[in-house]
Structure 1
Amino acid sequence: MTPGIDAGMLQLAAMGRLSAVSCLALGPAFAADAPALAGIDADLGVHLNLTEAFDAAGRTAVMPLPALIARAYTGRLDGAWIDTQLARQFDAFERTLGRAPDYVDGHQHVHQLPGVLPRLLDFLRRRYGPQRPWLRHTAPGILDGIPLRDAAKAHLIGALGAAALRRAAHRDGWRTNRRMLGVYGLDGGVRRYAALLHHWLYHALDGDLIMCHPGLPSSGDRLAGQRAAEYSVLASPLIGEWMRFNGVRIARLSRR
C-alpha cells in the first residue's frame, strides 16, 4: 500500500516476527518493494482487493465495502468483474515475484463473501490444480477478556463468510488456518495493542492466525499512528518472552 507499511513488514519478517505477508499486487508500492520479499522466511499471499482505489483511475475497478457486501448478499455481483479482478491481481503477483502465492486472503476480508468465494475457489482450482494455496479463515478464536466492541467486530467479520469457507474446506480439502485472532478497532496506541496481544497469545491454539497491520511511523495512510504502535509492540524484545510464556511459536502454515 505504501513504502512505510512495506518497510515495517519487511523488518518484522527479518526479525522472525511474521509468518506471512499479504500483498496488494496492484498497490502503488508493490512492484518496487516486492523483490525484497524474496529473502524472507514467510508465506507470501495475494491480498484480494475489491474495495480500495489507489488513484482516481482505479475507482471504476472497485466499490465501497458496504456496497460490495450488499450486492454480494443480494446476488447482484457481476461475475465477469470479479473474474477480471482475480486475473489482474494474480497475474501481477506472479509477474513480480515469479511464483505462485502460498495463500489467499482479502482486503477487508472480501475473499469470503458470497459471489466472490465460489469464483475465487474455481479460479484457484483452474490455475493451480493440486498445488492450491491455503485460505484465510475468519472465524474468531477464543475472545475471553477482549473488550466487547472488539469481540463484536471479530464475530461480525466471521459471520460474513467464515461458515461458507469452512464448508468448502471440509468438502474439497482446502487448507486454512484454524481460527483468526487480531481483530480490534485499530486504535488505542501502544498500550492498548500490547494488552490485546497478551490476550491473543494467551488464548491462541495450534493453527490459529493472529492478523496484524504494522508499519513504520512514516507509513503515510490514515492508520499510520496505529500501524506504528503495532510495529513497536511486535518489534519489542519482550515478544519472545511473551511467546515462550504462552507456549506459542511463529510458524508458516504452508509448512504444516
Structure 2
Amino acid sequence: MSEPSLILRLSRYGAVGGTAALVHTTALLSLERVAPLWLANPLAFLMASIAGYIGHALVTFREETGGRRFARRWLLLQYAVNLAVCALLPLLLGNWMPMPLRTAVLVFTPTLLNALIWSRAARFSAKARQQQNGQPPLLHADDLGLAEGVDSAIIVLAQSGLLQGASLLVNGPSAANAVEAWRDLTDPPPLTLHVCLTEGHGLPHCPDLPTGFSSLLVASLLPWQRRRIAPQLRTVLLEQFSSYRQLTGLRHIRLDGHQHIHLVPLVLDAVLDLSRSESITWVRTTLEALPEGLSLRLWWRSIKTGGFIKWLILQLLSGLAIPRLRRAGLHTNRRFAGVLFSGSMYGEAFRHCWITAHSPKRIHRALRPVVLIHPAQRHAAAGMDQEAFQQSAAFFNSSNRQKEWTSAQQLLES
C-alpha cells in the first residue's frame, strides 16, 4: 500500500484530532456535574487520548499499522507527556509572554508533541510489520547437560529441525551423555558454552567467588572486590573452557552464561581478556525489544515473575557489552527474546516474542536474533544434582519447562 499524500495525512490527523477534542469536551461537561474539575479534566482527557489512540492507528496511520492498534505503551506515553506539559507549561511561561502568543503556545505545544508521538508509534508499527514478514530468529535452548529430561527435550527439538542451537552446561551431571547424543544427530546445530558461575562449579580453591548474579554485579562496582575475585573468576572460566573442549572436541568457543552471568561487567572483563588465547568467537547479548499486543495478563506475569526487572538490568548490561564486543572483534546477536518472560516462555508470550524477534532482511547467522527457551520433558529434574544447583531448583522442578517445550513445538510446526 502506497504512502498517502501529506494533505490526506493532515486531513486524517485533523479529523481524528477534532473527534478527540469533541470527546474531551463532552466528557468534561458530563463529569463536571459529578466530580471536581481537578479530577474531571484528567479523566476527560484520558477518554480523548483513547479516542486519538484508536483513531490514529485505524485511520491516520492505517498504512503503517495495517488497521491494528498501537501498542498500549504509546497511549501511556502520550497521556503522561500531555499531563506533564499541561501542568508545567503555564508555570514556565508565567505572565511575561503576550496573551495571544501564550495561548498559542499552550494550545499547539501538546498538538505538536502528539503528532511526534503518534508518528513515532506509526513508524514502530510499520517496522514491526516488516519484521514479521522477514527472516525468522534462531531458536536456542539452554541447559543441555543439566538432566536427562532436559537433554531429551533439546535433542528432540534439534532432531526435528526446530532448534538452531543449544548451550552446554559442562558441569551438569548429564553433560557427557548429552554431547554424545548431540553428535549422533544427522546435522547437529552449533553448540555454545553455557558458563556457570553462580552454582554447580564447587571449586574449593575459589572460596571468594560470589554465588549470585546480584553479588557479582555489586562486586563489579567495587575495585577491591574486583581485584580479589578476578584471579578466582579466571580459574573457573579456564576450567570450564577446558571441559568444553574435552567434551566437544571443538577449538573455537561460542559463549553465553547461566542466568546471563557473562554480561556482568566483571565476568565480561575476564571473557574479553581471554578471548584471543581461548579462541572465543561469539558472545550472546540480550538486547530485547518489547513485543506488541501483550495483554495485561502477560504483563502481570512478567512483573510477578521478576522478568521485567531482569529485562531492565540486562538491557543496560547488553547496551554496555555490545560496543566492547565489537571492539574486541567478537560477533554477537543483534536482538534477543527470552528475558522478559524468563522462566515462562510459553503460550502467547512465546508467540509474541517470536514474531517480534524477526529480522526485516536477511543477515549473517552470527548476527541473527536469538529466541531463548528452557525446554524439558516431564520429570525434568530426575537425575539433576539439586544440591549443586539450588538457585535454579524451583524452575527446574516446575511444569514451565514442559510448557516451553510444547509451545516451541506447536508454534514452529504451525
Indicate the TM-score class for this superposition, using the shorter chain for normalisation: 0.7 to 0.9
Unaligned runs of 5+ in 2: 1-145, 360-367, 382-392
CA contact (8 A) 2:252 2:278 kept: no
Residues 151 and 205 (structure 1), Cα distance of their counterparts in 2 relative to 1, 3 Å cut: farther
Match of 1:38 among 183, 196, 209: 183
Question: How far did 1:42 drift?
Answer: 1.2
Residues 144 and 73 (structure 1), Cα distance of their counterparts in 2 relative to 1, 3 Å cut: farther
Cα deviation per residue 1:61-100 (whole Å; 9 max; x = unaligned)? 6612222221122231311111111111011111011113
Alignment correspondent of 1:16:
161
**Code of the aligned partner of 1:51:** T
Greater share of helix: 2
Residues 54 and 29 (structure 1), Cα distance of their counterparts in 2 relative to 1, 3 Å cut: farther
Alignment correspondent of 2:282:
134
2:408 is the counterpart of 1:234: yes
Give every structure 1 segment of 4 or more consecutive aligned residues whose post-TM-superposition deviation is greater than 4 Å: 54-62
CA contact (8 A) 1:179 1:209 kept: yes
Question: How far did 1:2 drift?
Answer: 1.3
Q: How does 1:1-256 map to 2 (within 5 A)?
A: 1-40=146-185, 41-53=188-200, 60=207, 63-75=211-223, 76-77=225-226, 78-128=229-279, 132-146=280-294, 147=299, 149=303, 150-159=307-316, 161-183=317-339, 184-187=341-344, 193-206=346-359, 207-220=368-381, 221-223=393-395, 224=397, 225-236=399-410, 238-241=411-414
- Higher relative contact order structure (alpha carbons within 8 Å, sequence separation ≥ 6): 1
Cα deviation per residue 1:188-245 (whole Å; 9 max; x = unaligned)? xxxx721011111221132211111111111115324110111111123x4233xxxx
- Superposition RMSD in Å: 2.4
**Code of the aligned partner of 2:369:** D
**Code of the aligned partner of 1:165:** A
Q: TM-score, normalised by structure 2?
A: 0.52
Query: Following the alignment from structure 1 to structure 2, what is the Cα–Cα distance between the partners of residues 4 and 101?
Result: 28
Q: How many residues align?
A: 232
Unaligned runs of 5+ in 1: 242-256
**Greater mean deviation of Cα atoms: 97-106 or 61-70:** 61-70
Question: How far did 1:57 drift?
Answer: 7.0
Cα deviation per residue 1:12-71 (whole Å; 9 max; x = unaligned)? 111112111111111111123221111343110111111013779799566122222211
